[in-house]
Amino acid sequence: MAWIETIQPIMDYVLGGTSVAGAIAAIYYRKANKRIKDSEAKQADVNAKSAEIDYANKYFNDMLVMLEKVKEATDKGSGNQEEMMRMLQEQGKAIDDHGRLLEDIVTFLDGDFNDYLKKKNTKPKHKQKKEAAIP
The arithmetic mean of pLDDT across residues 63-69, rounded, is 90
For range 8-34, the mean pLDDT: 72
Whether residue 114 is predicted with pLDDT greater than 70 in this model: the reply is no
Residue 66 to residue 72: CA distance in whole angstroms: 10
77 three-state secondary structure:
helix
Question: Whole-angstrom Cα distance, residue 59 to residue 66?
Answer: 10
Give the pLDDT confidence score for residue 132 in this predicted structure: 54
pLDDT at 17 over 70: no
The pLDDT > 90 percentage for the chain reads 4
State which of 19-23, 89-93, 107-111 shows the largest mean pLDDT. 89-93
- The pLDDT score that the predictor gives to residue 43 is 92
